[in-house]
Amino acid sequence: MSLRIYNTLTRQKESFVPLVPGQVHMYVCGITPYDVSHIGHARSALVFDVIARYLAHAGYRVTFVKNYTDVDDKIITRANQLKVSIAELTEGYVKAYEADMTRLGVRPPTEAPRATAHIPEMVALIEQLVAKGLGYVVGGDVYFEVGRFPTYGRLSGKNLEELLAGARVDVNERKKDPRDFTLWKAAKPGEPSWPSPWGRGRPGWHVECSAMAMKYLGETIDLHGGGEDLIFPHHSCEIAQSEGATGKPFARYWVHNGFVNLGSEKMSKSLGNTLTVEALLGRHDPEALRLYFLQTHYRNPVELSDEGIAGMRRPLERFRELVDTAGALVPTEPESSPDGTFLAQVGALRERFEAAMEDDFNTPQAIAALNQLATTLAEERERVRSGGRSGHDFVAGVSVLIDLGKVLGLSMAGRESHRAQIFEPEERAHIDSLVKERDEARRRRDWARADALRAELDALGVALEDAPTGTKWKRKSGAPTAP
């Protein structure tokens, strides 16, 4: 088998050949932490979590970088609205996002750099572009001159003339061309700023990812990912400034996930129809949500359905029951089926699963193989229960189910251990009411009552996290279940 990936840049599947044999350098654009994470963030995170997991499963050493854009117009506006510092706002939302990702089973990246910690790298990159005549200074602002980079826009399939004809940009007489994009913004009163050769200011959005990707992964990386909404302008601008500075290809494979739709509409904050991760996890098993998203190929849009997510509990329960059965067995002497049929079937289904993942990470087909493996295991379990088998092969088969499930980010914990990680709906409603009462006590500055409620929630096994927009909660690690 040979891994093939659909490359947005070439619009075709290509054999995956990393720059350094056995290693993968992978960069994915992360969130702008000015609000709680929504289900679109969750889908992108799940997609690239599974891609990183499969690459590791296939034997690659994966270095995965995912950034935080922690300075931005939206962040400044939100911090002013809430009357908190930018650092306080972003720190709260970063922690909330990471808590959501933990509940979803998304592994942390190798590096999670923040833009504000890499201003010197951005300034150095902009200096290179200015020195090469690709960037120009107007007052304290610096712009990238798109007309001097002829292949600008090729990731989106558009040429410079098409981009100009279709441009929807604010009138800015300071630019040489309406397509030119900002590399550095001059400081404004009341906004955060950093020193630069052009005066105090802050970086443009696009330059962050180029600088951080090249710092941690090198001038040419293997795989760059993100949502399809980033193809233009963000990723197109990344290519222009990175390749303009180095003269080398920036990323060899570009991978983009599709949108999440609510009804007939694409979900977006601009449309006001977002759904938070926290809200969805409040009514669904996190692994059911993960399995639901993975039932659709990552490049296709997903239609969000509560009924569809709830329906994923059935295959999950089946997996967990098989794990429970294997955990309770004490096999006698190793004993295979007389003709070796069972283990051969297990091996064939493993190959089918891996072949699906090798075909542009085709998780729907991989899940189909996993479901067929569960059916094969259930049949073997009945033979064990009837006394026709020792159970040795069954346990070996379940270990394959667990290994493959983990590639998709499924814990494959047994039913009882999984139940210990979640609250029942009645418990959740009670906890919500206590958290709300504590928030109200804090607003009244009734610290004694707020502390008493925290102690009560702590006794229930609840961890609290106070954020600018209110208190978030989750089950504490290792907390006991309610009787």
Domains in the chain: ranges and CATH: 4-277 (3.40.50.620), 313-419 (1.20.120), 425-475 (no CATH)
Mean pLDDT by 10 residues, the chain (483 residues): 94 98 98 94 97 97 98 94 94 94 96 98 98 97 96 89 59 83 95 97 96 98 97 96 98 97 64 77 93 98 94 95 85 59 95 98 98 97 84 91 96 60 62 85 83 80 74 61 31
Query: Edge-to-edge strands of the sheet including 201-203?
Result: 135-138, 141-144, 181-186, 201-203
Q: Is the Cβ–Cβ distance between 216 and 247 less than 8 Å?
A: no
Coil, strand or helix at 342:
helix
Q: Is the Cβ–Cβ distance between 40 and 267 less than 8 Å?
A: yes
* Residue 224 token pair: 């760059």
Q: What is the pLDDT of residue 235?
A: 97
Question: Helical H runs in 295-424?
Answer: 306-311, 313-328, 341-358, 363-385, 392-407, 415-419
- Residues in CB range of 250: below 8 A, 6 or more apart: 210, 213, 219, 220, 221, 224, 238, 239, 242, 243
The strand pair at 12-15 and 135-138 is best described as unpaired
Measured in whole angstroms, the distance separating CA 98 from the mean position of its chain's CA atoms is 10
The strand pair at 221-227 and 23-28 is best described as parallel
In the chain, the amino acid numbered 314 is R
Q: What is the pLDDT of residue 481?
A: 34
Q: Which residues of 118-143 are buried (b: 16+ CB within 10 A; e: fewer)?
A: bbebbbebbbebbeeebbbbeebbbb
Q: What is the pLDDT of residue 404?
A: 97
Q: Which residues of 372-383 are buried (b: 16+ CB within 10 A; e: fewer)?
A: ebbebbeebbee
Q: Which helix (H) or strand (E) holds 481?
A: none
State pTM to two decimals. Answer: 0.84
d(CA 208, CA 211): 5
